[in-house]
Amino acid sequence: MSTFSSLNIAYSGLVASRRGLDVIGQNIVNVNTVGYTRQRIETTSLEQAITKAQSRIPQPGNGVQVTGISRLGDAYADARVRETSADASYWLKTNDVMASLESRLNEPSDDGLSKTLQRFWTAWQNVANQPGETAPASVLLEEANTLATQLSTGYRAAQGEWASVRGEASSAVAAVNESAGQVAELNDRIRETIAAGGSANELVDKRNLLIEDIVAQTGATVKLKDDGTADILLGGSALVEGGTARQLAVTGADSLETASDDPVTLEWTHRPGQPISAPGGSLAASLELLGPADAAGTGGAIATFAAEFDHVAQTLADTVNAVHRTGAVADGTTGHDFFSTGPGPAALTLKALPTDASGIAAAAPGRGSQDGSIADEISQLGSADGSADAVWNAFVVSTGVRAAGAENKAEVYQLAYNTASDLRLSQSGVDLDEELTSMLTFQRAYQGSARVLTAIDEVLDTLINRTGVVGR
């Protein structure tokens, strides 16, 4: 082994130690970078090429070589984070909307619809006690208008919530399309970098952040390939395949009223008219929330919310009108409705028809203006089976149960996501104490290699410049 080979060994140690310090520096400066995964250099010893003349002489190796920079990520931990993020996003979205809807009920409170209904029935009782009087009749009509306004406000709140979620779904799809395009571009760059023998670790980190966002929105699955690329599958088809990204679109109704005839769906832009289902994530939650109502009350939460306000309004109109028609107004005629509804949702069109006491049928036919038996009968409707009050109370309870269930599940799945994220961070996050220890190790190794290099340099200096001089 030549002395110059010894120089090469020492030099290789300097190069490896310096590269190690470079990687540690990269880790330290990115300690607060979201999505960054710590790295380590990979090294291997180089064997000495032995000539025939040296075959019987023990020879050391030929130094050290940096073979790569490994990314200390965990594929299982990444997959677990993606899976839990999709579930958490689904329930967080559902919980947000259900909490918003529940708050619109304003129950229990003095301003809630329950109290308004009670005041409405009490007003009828006051009319029964003072038939033909202007004051109690005016109070009744005021309470009736207040009731109609509250029902209309509740229904319009559902319309606004529906439009908001519909807009958010469209924005989410636009963001997914943008992220999918970026993932495809990164796939190409990663493949080219790896094929050229370079390190694509930072590119992989950027891609993983985008993928996690896509999965949180859609619940898509990810397939890692041997060439370093990642495919994203949605509904059995590829959203991203290598360097190719496909586009999604939200189609269907633009308003709550048309949702039952034209449901909101998710489609591929290259396959219009063929709905696909998002397996999870916030987008799947949005599509379910935007679904039409059904008779079982298990349809889209927002449409169900609106339908229940409509149900209360129609029940109120039907029950009151059924009794009011049997009574006589001031001119002695019968068959008059107290409420009118339609065309359109009853909650939006409910209106009290009388304008004063003369239009209120408080008396039974033929009993004179001082009779209040019909008004008394109407005042008892609130406690009857199938009344508007009963419909409203059942609606409040079912909404509360649905909202509480969404809140509990959101908490559970968010906890699972946090746990998975913490576990991944403990494995792939930068630990400054560990990095400082490694930095000292490489620093000492660099200094040692430098000392070896200095020693060999001195040997060569003696060999070249002092041979034959010693002893003169």
Q: Give per-residue pLDDT as tens, 157-215.
A: 999 999 999 999 999 999 999 999 999 999 999 999 999 988 999 999 999 999 999 99
Quick one: 130 exposed, middle or buried, by C-beta within 10 A (0-12, 13-18, 19+)? middle
Compute the average pLDDT of residues 457-468. 78
For the CA atoms of 382, 387, 392, 394, the dihedral, rounded to the nearest 10 degrees, stands at: 120
Which runs of consecutive H residues, i.e. helices, occur in 106-233? 113-129, 134-195, 201-218
pLDDT score at 361: 93
Confidence label for 470 from pLDDT (cuts 50, 70 and 90)? low
SS3 44: strand
Confidence band of 471 (pLDDT split at 50, 70, 90): low
Cis peptide before 354 (omega within 30 of 0): no
Specify the pLDDT at position 378.
Answer: 95
Residue 234 pLDDT more than 80? Answer: yes
d(CA 152, CA 306): 10
Report in angstroms the alpha-carbon separations of 166 from 186, 230, 283, 350, 384. 30, 30, 10, 27, 39
Residue 472, pLDDT score: 56
Q: How far apart are CA 176 and CA 156, in angstroms?
A: 30
DSSP string, 357-408: GGG---B-TTS-TT--HHHHHHHTGGGSTT-HHHHHHHHHHHHHHHHHHHHH
Structure tokens at 355: 């304008």
Give the integer Cα–Cα distance in Å for 18 and 442.
7
What gap in Å lies between CA 445 and CA 16, rounded to an integer? 9
Please enumerate in sequence order all residues whose Cβ is within 8 A of that of 410, keeping only pairs 6 or more positions apart, or say none: 88, 91, 92, 94, 95
Are residues 110 and 146 in contact, defined by beta-carbon separation less than 8 angstroms? no
Least confident interval from 40-54, 56-70, 305-319: 40-54
Identity (one letter) of the amino acid at 45?
A: S
In this structure, which amino acid lies at residue 402? R
464: left (phi over 0), alpha (psi -120 to 50) or beta: alpha
How far from the centroid of its chain's Cα atoms is residue 321's Cα? 46
Report the Cα–Cα distance between both ends of the chain, in Å, rounded. 30
Tens digits of residue pLDDT in 34-61: 989 999 999 998 876 555 555 556 667 7
Q: Which helix (H) or strand (E) holds 449?
A: helix 432-465
Q: Does the pLDDT of residue 273 top 80, yes or no?
A: yes
Mean pLDDT of all residues in 395-422: 95
Query: Percent of the chain scored above 70 by pLDDT?
Result: 95
